[in-house]
Structure formats: structure tokens, C-alpha cells
Structure 1
């Protein structure tokens, strides 16, 4: 039953990211709730399904593949603050390139989080999944985190291609001139310089979210995040 629950949770999570758009449900909900309302509802549903997937992976039969190392545990603790910060600064920020971003109020000369990377939430998911993949050497978690890593990497290509079609090649290139897909690439190349420091409110929220996730990891997941 553990494998059945895990497979069902994985299928529902993946389907939730394709079926609403394919069946026209997304457009109907956007009309009723507005873009922000739909994003909030979709985010809550995704988080709930993600939590179920993680819990279901823990319930699946344990099949060892590789041993956990101290370096792998440190990698998780170093990657997670950055992953959480990317996610918090991504959701609802002016960013026409990412599905979690707000299309309005975007200034190509002051791209904000898009200057750091055009796909911050998918990079956050990739960091989370890759770091946890190394620290969890059983079959169920290897499937879980490996799938999410592939989902994140493929998702970047899909979203970028979709936005280029929607905006047109010239429009996309004009809007993206001070941005980069790879984190910090635009900063290193000199195409982007932050116009101001990060939002204090979002930074505080990122720190608080990371601290809460770290604190709840043992009681909820059953494993201490300490290296």
C-alpha cells in the first residue's frame, strides 16, 4: 500500500500542473478569482500535494541504494536557505518570464528578481531536490527527488519557450536584456546591476520561512536537519 500511495501522490502532483491548463480550468478560475487569486489557490494546492508526496515517500518500503554522508547533510543545510529565499522573492514579483511571477509592473531596466534569474522558483525547486537527493539514498526518495529535479530542469526549458512564443522573439529579447536564466549570469556578465537592496519584508519572510521549515523538519518529516 505504501508504494500505491506514493505513486498516486506523484501522479496527482504532476497532473495538477498540466490538467488545469489542458482542460481550460485555469482560464475559468482566472476569470473568477483573478490572476493573483488563481496563483494563490494554485500555490496552496501545490504545497498541499507536495507535502503529501513527501509524506508518502516516507511511508513507502525502504529500499537502500547508497549511504548518507556528512557532506550530503551539509549540502542540504547550505542549499535550503538559498532555495527558500529564491522561492519567497519569486512568488508574485514582477516577472513576465516565470509562471509564478506577475506580468504587470515589470521594468526591463530594473528587472528585480528576474535579473538574478528568470526562473527563480524552478531553480529553488531544483536546488531543493538535488540537495535532498544526495542525502536520501533509498529508492522512494531517489524517485521523488530525481523526478522533481528533472521536472524543474525541463520546466525551465518549457516555460522559457512558451514565454518566447507569447512575447515574440524580439519582445522577449528586449524584455530579457538585463536578465539571465542561470543564476548570477547577468550579474557576472555585467548585463545587470541591482538598482537597490532586497526587500526587507521579503528577506524577513524568507528567513522566517526557512527557520520554520528547519524547526518543523524533525516533528513533521521525522528526521533532524542537523548535519
Structure 2
């Protein structure tokens, strides 16, 4: 049953991420839930299925691929801080290149924030998170889980770019060129807001360290 549940959770994960954003289902859902309602419902469903998938990976038969060592825990410990900071800088910010942007009409390519580094900061965070968690989870189920997420994040950016180019037309290339021309590091639009987001990212990091044993049954600390 372990592999059966794992396969079912994987199928549910991809179906719930692919179907709601495809026409005609997405316009139908947005018309009934509203843009914000659709975003909240889609996020809640994604998190629920992700929690099921992670739990199913832990219940799958254990097939070791490499031996565990305490040093491996330092890889996700180091990687998760930039992941949390990227999330704090990206969530709720204008980003016309992504499906997750908010108030995209307010996007300023001269002050693109974290979008100066990548058009898809949330996918970058997912890729770092997944790749780092492969190292201390050297069994077949978890390597498939985190490895799939890493590939999904890399390929997902290309798919989003293709769709956004089609939707935005010439505006996509114009905004992307202006984004790349912004200085590095990108200047914040507001220093107080920037400091608040840094603090929230650090709080998220330490909160995950504290909650990890209760959420996933394993301490992230060596």
C-alpha cells in the first residue's frame, strides 16, 4: 500500500497543479471565486496535496540509495535561509512574469526587487529547497520526491515564460529587458518594507526549524 499511496499522491499533486490553471477551467473558477479567491483556493489545495505527498513519501517502503551522515543536515540548514528570504521578498509583490504576482500593473522594471535576479523567484526557492533536501534523504521515495520537485521548478519556469510571452506579446520582451538593465543589487522601493521582509524571512527560517519535528517528525538539526 505504501507505493500505491505514494503514486496516488504524486498523481494528485500534478493533476491539482495542472488542471485548475488550464482553460476553460481556470476562467470558470475565477468567475465564481474571484481572482483572490481562486489564488487562495489554489494555494490551499496545493499545500494540502503537498502535505499528503510528503507524508506518503515517509510511509513508502524504505529503499536506501546512499548512507546517511550527520554532515548532510548542514546542506538544507544552509540552503533554507536564502529560500526563506526569497519567499519573503517575492510573495505579494508585483511580478508580471509569473502566475503568482500581485498588483502586476504596479511593477516597476527600474526597481524590480528580487525579480531582477530571476523572473521566477518562487520556483527558484522551490528548486533550492528540493535540491538541498535530496542530500540527507538518500532513500528512493524521497529522492524521487525532491528530485521531481527540482526538475518541476526548472522546467516550470520555461513553461511559464512560454505562456506569458504568448499572453503579453511585445510587453514581455520590453519589461524583461528593462528588468535586466536595473542595477545590482536591486534598490528597494522602500527601505522600511525591505527591512520588514528581511525580518519576516528570518522569522520564517527559525519558525520552520522549530516546527519541523512536529510537521515532519524529524529534527533538522545535527
TM-score computed with the length of structure 2 as normaliser: 0.90
Given that 1:57 and 1:141 are in contact with CA atoms closer than 8 Å, whether structure 2 keeps it comes out as yes
Aligned equivalents of 1:70, 1:176: Cα separation in 2: 43
Q: C-alpha offsets along residues 60-114 of structure 1, whole Å, 9 cap, x if unaligned?
A: 1111001223443111001111112222322221000011112221112221221
Q: Check if 1:213 corresponds to 2:213.
A: no
Q: How far is the alpha carbon of 1:2 from its aligned partner?
A: 1.1
Alpha-carbon spacing, 1:27–1:201, altered in 2? closer, same or farther (3 Å): farther
Aligned equivalents of 1:86, 1:41: Cα separation in 2: 23
Alignment partner, residue 177 of structure 1: 177
Alignment partner, residue 159 of structure 1: 160
TM-score computed with the length of structure 1 as normaliser: 0.88
Q: How far is the alpha carbon of 1:191 from its aligned partner?
A: 6.4
Q: How far is the alpha carbon of 1:13 from its aligned partner?
A: 0.8
Alignment partner, residue 10 of structure 1: 10
Alignment partner, residue 112 of structure 2: 111
Alpha-carbon spacing, 1:219–1:8, altered in 2? closer, same or farther (3 Å): same
Alignment partner, residue 221 of structure 2: 226
Given that 2:126 and 2:149 are in contact with CA atoms closer than 8 Å, whether structure 1 keeps it comes out as yes
Q: Check if 1:194 corresponds to 2:187.
A: yes
Aligned equivalents of 1:114, 1:18: Cα separation in 2: 24
Alpha-carbon spacing, 1:218–1:194, altered in 2? closer, same or farther (3 Å): same
Q: How far is the alpha carbon of 1:192 from its aligned partner?
A: 6.3
Given that 1:75 and 1:131 are in contact with CA atoms closer than 8 Å, whether structure 2 keeps it comes out as yes
Aligned residues: 219
Alpha-carbon spacing, 1:201–1:161, altered in 2? closer, same or farther (3 Å): same
Structure 2 gap ranges (5+): none
Q: How far is the alpha carbon of 1:175 from its aligned partner?
A: 0.7
Q: C-alpha offsets along residues 36-76 of structure 1, whole Å, 9 cap, x if unaligned?
A: 22212211211111111111100111110012234431110
Instruction: Name the structure with the higher helix share.
Output: 2
Alpha-carbon spacing, 1:88–1:8, altered in 2? closer, same or farther (3 Å): farther
Structure 1 gap ranges (5+): 181-185
Where 1:12 maps in the other structure, the secondary structure is helix
Aligned equivalents of 1:63, 1:75: Cα separation in 2: 22
Aligned equivalents of 1:195, 1:220: Cα separation in 2: 34
Given that 1:57 and 1:140 are in contact with CA atoms closer than 8 Å, whether structure 2 keeps it comes out as yes
